[in-house]
Structure 1
Amino acid sequence: MAFVTAVEASLPGASRISPSDACVIEILYWYPKQAESVEIEDFYTGNSIDLLEYRITTRVADSTTHNAIVSARRDAAGRADDPGGEVELFTLPESLVVQVMHHGPFKDEFETLARLGAFARERNLRRSGPHREIHIDPFTAQTPQDALRTILRDPVA
């Protein structure tokens, strides 16, 4: 997350969505095809977490070019956690989603996901893509989690 934030901060002003605001991170999580299929409420408990794959993203301006990303990645490599991390422009496909704002520690997300899963089931909707978490507040391992805001979002069909 620190690396993606550093790359975003290194983009030229015109390529950043909001030069003065904190970088909002969205992480997409999924299991490999051979893993057991899981629904919203059992996403983190239906398979071993070790199988989880992910992509860390942030929003950039539509005018952002591949060359701007390459340059920002090079600039960020000196001050970020993962100088070897891959960076690319990625367009998140449009989809119908269910979502909820989770307040507080990550360990309490299970209860929030259970409510979100029940909401989807009541409408005959099933998870149809990667689980997403949008981290509104920047955080590190030392950040108190009581006030964190995380949007939990799942594409559905």
Structure 2
Amino acid sequence: MPYLINGNSGKAPAGPADEGGFTGWSLVGADHVTSGEQAAARQRPWQGGPDWVSVQTRAHVDALEIDAPPVLGTGSRTRVTATVTQGARSVPVGFPLAADWTGSPNVHIGDRDDARHRHTAVLDPSTGTLTALRPGTITLAVTVNGTTQKVQIRIGAAGAASTA
């Protein structure tokens, strides 16, 4: 890793929140690479090597909020967002700010095509799109720097109230 550009941790951000201006810190991780993995990477560099360095940008969190509708109709799609509050500043949760989206067992986090029959809804965290597949109640959660916020959403029959 030749260098890491890090955000502010002891003073006000230099830019607006929607352009990455927030306070926080970075967690750098390095995993052990075996001698076999090292040799394979040297012999076949075009295949790429093991993913051994990672960086998480951890925002300072005074408060965390999820914006999602309480009810969504089957077959409907809506956008789910999260916001971190830092003093008077509201920061949208998204790159470069590290966040983990999770859900109840009946929620698939990821691509819609990978959902199974047991899944009531699908959340694509890269776009924030929540797709209601069948009736039921789901829980979505987002964690930013150790702070977690949860929301419950009822998936009703097609045509149920929605804020999509």
The structure with more helix, counted as a fraction of residues:
1
TM-score normalised by length of structure 1 = 0.29
Q: TM-score, normalised by structure 2?
A: 0.28
Between Structure 1 and Structure 2, which shows a larger proportion of strand residues? 2
Structure with the greater alpha carbon radius of gyration: 2
